[in-house]
Amino acid sequence: MQRRLSVWTDLPKGASVGCRMADLVYHEAVDSVYAALLSGMSGSVDLFWSELSSEAQCTLPLVPLQSVHADHADPAAGLMTVCGLDGDHLEFALCGSDTIATLQERVADAWALFPGQVSIMAEGVPKTLAEDTTLADAGTCNFQAVRCAHGALQCVESALEGAVVCRDIRKGTVRQEFCGHTAGVNCVAADFVKNIALSGSDDASLCMWNMQDGQLLLTCNHEDAVICLRVCFVTMQALTGTDNGILCLWDLNLGEIVLECKPIRQHGNVASLCCMDVNFERMLAISGTADDKMRLWNLETRECIHTFNEHRNYVQAVQADFDIMRAVSGSSDSTLRYWDLEARTCLLTMEGHTDEVSALSVDFASEQALSCGDDSLMILWDLKSGVQLQVFRGHEARLVSVVADFSQSLALTAARDETTKLWDLATGECIRSNTTNTALTSLAVMF
């Protein structure tokens, strides 16, 4: 028994898509499949094959077509069908013995994605099928594989010992390792569609990685350890903060520094940067430092616009929305503060942690914030009132990172107990806990 798999793609019309057909089984009917494809088409399509071998490739331009598929292939020969197009669809003829997991792997390989970024669904079935379901067991319907903008549940993790990995959160398995740093890694950022990750390290380097094959794409060297990082993957710009207090704006296409904001010296001393956030379009940044201060920067003029002095210890975490000029900060003084950046005032001080606040994730639209601390707790806050909405317990050591998708009520945390935990924000339940076997420092997540 065989089924068709319709693969949605967001590539523009007129572009071409190449699918690597390695590891597929070919047989004498390939010529017949080719003839059937041509005879079934309305309009013209260029279909090119290299030699009929395990390395054969098929390339088709994305143009509107009538339904094109090869439904006469011999199932006994295994998965052996070429690709056809139906409008913006890629179509594979598949065998009934193939599983959903196999389909995810084939499609992910063709798209240069991780399998978790491909969701396989049967027509008429409202939810994703189990990965071990065979196509024969799934029924006689067509199958759709959607390139997911959400639901992939992948993360990139950085560790004190210098490791950087990409992990499947649902399975807990490592998808890819990125090897190259010679010291601890403090921060990461990732674009799971472009398959690009960046990491900043105590070895004073910012590294850019190919998430698909783990290859190092670019190294940007600094004068001191890279402590914090923000990236715009649309414009390929990165802002880094270093241990010697410098903010560096990078052009990642060129691998060059565009500008630097030098640290503020007090009594001849320079405070280390602990955290920062940025709006690349407006060229505004905010930084938290080890001198208990938070500073607002104009990156174009390289000037510190304002210094906020209200915290009483290191400012460990900050997140801002520069469109509405609001920010939330977390400090080693165990408090969170909600700021009006335009008025330069603190709107609210939130107390609840019994130790340092180490990480934040904020949803300014709903005015909610998640804070993590050295007390091993995560707390959900209402920024309008300062009230605690939920306290999350489960980690056994200091939390170091949190990333949340408030629209899906999900958050992922990392802690020094060598675990990551996926939380349901609505119920407070820990949905999944993964052991990392190393002390983590930072997370980048695709929910």
Separation between Cα atoms, residue 416 and residue 144, nearest integer Å: 40
Tokens for 161, please give them.
């010992």
| pLDDT for residue 193 | 81
Confidence (pLDDT) at 94: 61
On whether the CB atoms of residues 158 and 164 are closer than 8 A, the answer is yes
Backbone φ/ψ region at 444: left (φ over 0), alpha (ψ -120 to 50), beta: beta
358: helix, strand or coil: strand
CATH code of domain 2-147: 3.10.20.90
Closest CA to 421 of 401, 441, 391: 401
Where do the domains of the chain lie? 2-147, 154-446
pLDDT value of position 99: 77
**8 Å CB contact between 238 and 252:** yes
Q: Which pLDDT value is given to residue 432?
A: 92
Please say whether the beta carbons of 241 and 287 come within 8 A: yes
Q: What is the pLDDT along the chain (447 residues), one digit of tens a residue?
A: 222 223 222 333 333 333 332 222 222 233 333 333 333 332 222 322 222 222 223 333 322 222 223 332 333 333 323 232 233 345 555 666 777 787 777 776 666 566 666 666 665 444 556 778 776 676 544 556 565 544 568 999 999 999 999 998 988 999 999 999 999 999 999 998 889 999 999 999 999 999 989 999 999 999 999 999 999 999 999 999 999 999 999 999 999 999 999 987 666 677 899 999 999 999 999 999 999 999 999 999 999 999 999 999 999 999 999 999 999 999 999 999 999 999 999 999 999 999 999 999 999 999 999 999 999 999 999 999 999 999 999 999 999 999 999 988 999 999 999 999 999 999 999 999 999 999 999 999 998
Give the model's pLDDT for residue 113: 61
Q: Given this chain, do its domains 2-147 and 154-446 carry the same CATH topology?
A: no
Give the pLDDT of residue 88: 37
Those residues with Cβ within 8 angstroms of residue 322's Cβ, 6 or more apart along the chain or in another chain: 279, 282, 284, 341
Q: Which residues contact 24 (CB under 8 A, 6 or more apart)?
A: 54, 78, 79, 80
Q: Which CATH number fits domain 154-446: 2.130.10.10, 3.30.43.10, 3.40.50.150, 3.20.20.220?
A: 2.130.10.10
CA–centroid distance for 19 within its chain: 24
